[in-house]
Chain A
């Protein structure tokens, strides 16, 4: 079997995982199909498959080993909805009693009339939320077929009428928020903006124009920094 023998767990000792060789390999960049070593004694996490007793990466990203779980932290991700997630969606279409919402996931969500922001008469959905409107909503339910339902019944869930929207890859939200929310708090103070971070990677920035520019520049930097890997060979 040919391949790039870069990351091999079987050459590392399990005992030294705290500060030994495995830690030094924590940030190894791997590509799809790359052999990560034997699977015995390890669990396959995100972006990793077990094939014929070997761990194989399925994504481009940084290999991560936490305890006995080996995962790949991808450099680019798509949002996958989970119940309870606060998301920012765009209305993409509507019928007499349902809105179709783009929440940045591979599958559109639906917002039934009963979970809408206000009491709606049958056939009057466009009077409340029209195509192109943006909303702050929460994922109520995700079915086995990945179809999801969002709701606007809840504290703070509303139609977005002011400010600006921007987005980052969902896996970069941790970096944006920072430890204990420090980074985001500093950003809010510095920009004098109200920032709502949704779990689908979209942000609602409301405030002065200068503040919005500051936040957007910061988001751009975070995205660029995260995509440092990759370039001309």
Chain B
């Protein structure tokens, strides 16, 4: 949220810089089974974001100190490739990737039936190949598809979408410029079948009405993305 200054990101017709209306989502493709050695995997492109997620397990949890006697643990690793942005990213963990790994694991823990696999571990690797804006949302959504592809029992899929505010207008699914120069950002993770919320963050300020508008945009977009996720998992069957 760098503050918009005098950057005009929405025109008088209400269209954004990439021609989208405020409630529109960027184009999305979802592909499963892209990593043959993994138990489950997913490649997701969302605008110019590209994410590959691989799921391994359930497997024996090592080191043994991380084992939980009553349930499995989710070992989520979110990593941005050094070439994923125009500025090279230093390889390895940093504060941001640790935070996103944690919030992703927390969101997925609400849906995965971990109690079926006590003392074991499910490893989820989220690799950001190309980053534009909203990579945590894409990573979480793709991880949920990859978990389903791996046959891990879950009560629902998780769909994550972010809305925000640019030039005092609430818009859905921010792109890079809107994310950098916008005034607020509200990423959400929802369970589309029940409408429950498993992940919510907010950066910047939104009035109650703007928050409600952003919430509605996120919910509508989540239902749209959920349809694509179901299509990808069903592979055109039914």
- Interface, chain A (partner B; CB < 8 A): 1-4, 6-7, 28-29, 31-35, 47, 49, 51, 56, 58-61, 74-78, 102, 106-108, 145-147, 227-233
CB neighbours (8 Å) of A75 from chain B are 149, 151
Chain A interface mostly:
loop
Contact B232 A33 (CB under 8 A): no
Across the interface, which residues of B come within 8 angstroms of A78, CB to CB? 39, 57-58, 151
The answer on a CB contact under 8 Å between A106 and B29 is no
Alpha-carbon gap, A227 to B235, bound state (A):
10
Residues of B within 8 A of A229 (CB): 233-235, 237
Taking a contact as CB atoms under 8 Å apart, the answer to whether A1 and B194 are in contact is: yes
Q: Could you tell me the distance between the alpha carbons of A3 and B226 in the complex, rounded to whole angstroms? A: 9
7 additional contacts (CB under 8 A) given A2-B195, A76-B151, A106-B117: A29-B237, A32-B148, A107-B60, A146-B118, A229-B233, A229-B237, A231-B236
Q: Contacts A32-B155, A33-B191, A33-B193 given: A232-B232 contact, CB under 8 Å?
A: yes
- Please tell me if B238 contacts chain A, counting CB pairs below 8 Å: yes
Q: Given the interface contacts A35-B193, A230-B33, does A58 sit within 8 Å of B60 by beta carbon?
A: no
Q: Which of B17-46 contact A (CB under 8 A)?
A: 29-33, 39-40
Number of interface residues of B (CB under 8 A): 48
Measured CB to CB, the residues of B under 8 A from A are 29-33, 39-40, 57-60, 69, 72, 111, 113, 117-120, 148-157, 191-195, 223, 226-238
Task: Report, nearest first, the 5 A-B pairs whose CB atoms are least far apart.
Answer: A33-B156, A76-B151, A106-B58, A106-B120, A230-B32
Residue of B nearest to A58 (CB): B153
In the assembled complex, the Cα of A167 lies from the Cα of B50 at a distance in Å of: 32
Q: A31-B233, A32-B157, A108-B60 are in contact. Are A58 and B33 (CB under 8 A)?
A: no
Chain A contacts for B152, CB-based, 8 A: 59
B194 contacts across to A, CB distance below 8 A: 1
